C-alpha cells in the first residue's frame, strides 16, 4: 500500500477537510550505477575541494549562491529556516476556475488526495460539489519547506487529484527562443493546409492510456535479462541518417495514405474511414458555402 507523504487538511471558507497526500505516479525508468570496468566494483562519488582536491566532510559543507563575478554568498541553515513559510498543514483553496482556463504548461507533479477514514463525508461533499459545478480549485499549501501553488480537481475512482503548479514567472516565454522570427516569412498554401487537416482527421481518436507503453524501457529490460543469462549480444551498426530535402506536400500525402492504411488494418477501420470521408465532405461543404456567401455579399455591395 502507498504511504502518505503529507498529512493535513483542505480549507475553504470555514470548512476544513482532513486529507492525506499520496504520489499519483511512479517512475519506472531503468536506472544504472557507475561500475569500474576493470574490477566490476561500484564507483562512488566524493565531495572534494577545488582548492586542493581534498575530500570535504559533510558537516563542513554549506550552501552558496554564485554571483556574476564568480564569488559566492554563503547561506546558513538557520538563515534559510527563518525564510521558510509557516507550515500550516492546510491546503487553502482561494478560487474555483474552469479547467479550460489552465494551460497544461503550469502543471507540475500529480498527487492523489486521500480522505481521512475518520471524516469521509466532507471529502465526498467537496468532490461531488466540484463535479456538479465543473470547476477546478486553485490553492496554496506548504510542503518540504516551500509554499506551492496547486490545482485540486475530481479524479477517477471517487478520488480528488492535486497537481502542484509552476508560478507565472517560472514559465519561459517564446520570445526567449531563437527561430520564431523565421515563421513571419512563411506562407502556407490552401492545398497544404487541406492535406494537413486531412492527416489530423485520419489520426483522430480518443486518448486511451493503455494503448501506449514505454517500448524503449521494455527493450532495455529484455536486454538486461538476456545479458544476465549469459547470452551473447551482437550490436548491429546503426547507419547515419542521410540529410534529406523534404517535399512537404509529398510527405503529407504519404502520411495520409499510411494513416488510412493503418485504419483499414484495424477491426473498425471501414467504419472509421466512412466517418473520415463524411467529415471531409462536411468540411468541404462548409468551405463552399462560406465562399458562396462571401461572393454574394461582395456582389450585393457592388450593386448598392
Q: What is the CATH number of the domain that holds 12?
A: 2.40.290.10
Q: What is the pLDDT of residues 81-123, one digit of tens each?
A: 777 666 678 999 999 999 999 999 999 999 999 998 888 999 9
Return the pLDDT at 303: 47
In a domain, 122, yes or no: yes
In a domain, 56, yes or no: no
Radius of gyration of the chain (CA): 29
In a domain, 46, yes or no: no
In a domain, 100, yes or no: yes
The b/e string for 55-82 (b: 16+ C-beta within 10 A; e otherwise) is eeeeeeeeeeeeeeeeeeeeeeeeeeee
In a domain, 184, yes or no: no
Q: What is the pLDDT of residues 55-81, one digit of tens each?
A: 999 999 999 999 999 999 999 888 877
Does residue 83 or residue 193 have the better pLDDT? Answer: 193
In a domain, 20, yes or no: yes
Question: Helices marked H in the chain — which ranges?
Answer: 77-83, 120-133, 190-202, 215-228, 248-265, 269-303
For the segment 213-227, the average pLDDT, to the nearest whole number, is 86
Question: Considering the chain, what percentage of its residues have pLDDT values greater than 70?
Answer: 83
For the segment 134-162, the average pLDDT, to the nearest whole number, is 92
Does residue 265 or residue 161 have the better pLDDT? Answer: 161
- Whether residue 113 contacts residue 10, with contact meaning beta carbons closer than 8 Å, is answered with yes
| Same domain for 279 and 195 | yes
Return the pLDDT at 126: 93
Number of domains observed in the structure of the chain: 2
| Same domain for 274 and 148 | no
| Same domain for 156 and 90 | yes
Query: What's the domain range around 160?
Result: 6-24+84-168
Split at pLDDT 50, 70, 90, the class of 1 is: confident
CA distances from residue 236 to 86, 218, 225, 230, 233 in whole angstroms, order as listed: 57, 18, 19, 19, 9
| Same domain for 103 and 195 | no
Per the DSSP assignment, residues forming a β-bridge with 149 are 140, 165
| Same domain for 116 and 256 | no
Please give the Cα distance from 52 to 200 (Å, whole number). 60
| Same domain for 159 and 273 | no
The answer to whether residue 297 scores a pLDDT higher than 60 is no
The b/e string for 107-130 (b: 16+ C-beta within 10 A; e otherwise) is eeeebbbbbeeeeeebbeebbeeb
Collapsing DSSP to helix, strand or coil, 195 comes out as helix
CA–chain centroid gap for 64, Å, is: 32
| Same domain for 195 and 115 | no
What mean pLDDT is reported for the chain? 83
Question: Helices marked H in 7-86 — which ranges?
Answer: 77-83
Q: What is the pTM of this model?
A: 0.68
Please give the Cα distance from 151 to 99 (Å, whole number). 10
For the segment 259-269, the average pLDDT, to the nearest whole number, is 71
In a domain, 173, yes or no: no
| Same domain for 89 and 12 | yes
| Same domain for 104 and 11 | yes
Please give the Cα distance from 5 to 21 (Å, whole number). 6
| Same domain for 100 and 153 | yes
Please give the Cα distance from 78 to 147 (Å, whole number). 18
| Same domain for 138 and 195 | no
In a domain, 49, yes or no: no
| Same domain for 101 and 20 | yes
Which DSSP symbol is given to 56? P
Amino acid at each position: 500500500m502507498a504511504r502518505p507523504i503529507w498529512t493535513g487538511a483542505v480549507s475553504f471558507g470555514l470548512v476544513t477537510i482532513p486529507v492525506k497526500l499520496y504520489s499519483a505516479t511512479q517512475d519506472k525508468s531503468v536506472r544504472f550505477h557507475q561500475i569500474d570496468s576493470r574490477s566490476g566494483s561500484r564507483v562512488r562519488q566524493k565531495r572534494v575541494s577545488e582548492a586542493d582536491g581534498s575530500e570535504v566532510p559533510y558537516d563542513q559543507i554549506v550552501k552558496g549562491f554564485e554571483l556574476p563575478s564568480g564569488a559566492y554568498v554563503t547561506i546558513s541553515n538557520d538563515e534559510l529556516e527563518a525564510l521558510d513559510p509557516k507550515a500550516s498543514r492546510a491546503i487553502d483553496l482561494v478560487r474555483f476556475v474552469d479547467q479550460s482556463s489552465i494551460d497544461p504548461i503550469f502543471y507540475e507533479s500529480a498527487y492523489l488526495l486521500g480522505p481521512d477514514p475518520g471524516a469521509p463525508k466532507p471529502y465526498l461533499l467537496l468532490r461531488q460539489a466540484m463535479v456538479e459545478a465543473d470547476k477546478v480549485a486553485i490553492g496554496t499549501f506548504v510542503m518540504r519547506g516551500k509554499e506551492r501553488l496547486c490545482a485540486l480537481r475530481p479524479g477517477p475512482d471517487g478520488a480528488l487529484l492535486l497537481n502542484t503548479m509552476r508560478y507565472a514567472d517560472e514559465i519561459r516565454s517564446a520570445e526567449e527562443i531563437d527561430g520564431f522570427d523565421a515563421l513571419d516569412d512563411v506562407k502556407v498554401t490552401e492545398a497544404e493546409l487541406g492535406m494537413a487537416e486531412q492527416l489530423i482527421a485520419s489520426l483522430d481518436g480518443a486518448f486511451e492510456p493503455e494503448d501506449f507503453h514505454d517500448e524503449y524501457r521494455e527493450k532495455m529490460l529484455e536486454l538486461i535479462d538476456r545479458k544476465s543469462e549469459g547470452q551473447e549480444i551482437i550490436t548491429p551498426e546503426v547507419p547515419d541518417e542521410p540529410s534529406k530535402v523534404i517535399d512537404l506536400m509529398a510527405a503529407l500525402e504519404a502520411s495520409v495514405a499510411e494513416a488510412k492504411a493503418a485504419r483499414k488494418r484495424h477491426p473498425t477501420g471501414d467504419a472509421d474511414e466512412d466517418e473520415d470521408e463524411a467529415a471531409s465532405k462536411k468540411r468541404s461543404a462548409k468551405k463552399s458555402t462560406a465562399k458562396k456567401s462571401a461572393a454574394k455579399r461582395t456582389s450585393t455591395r457592388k450593386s448598392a
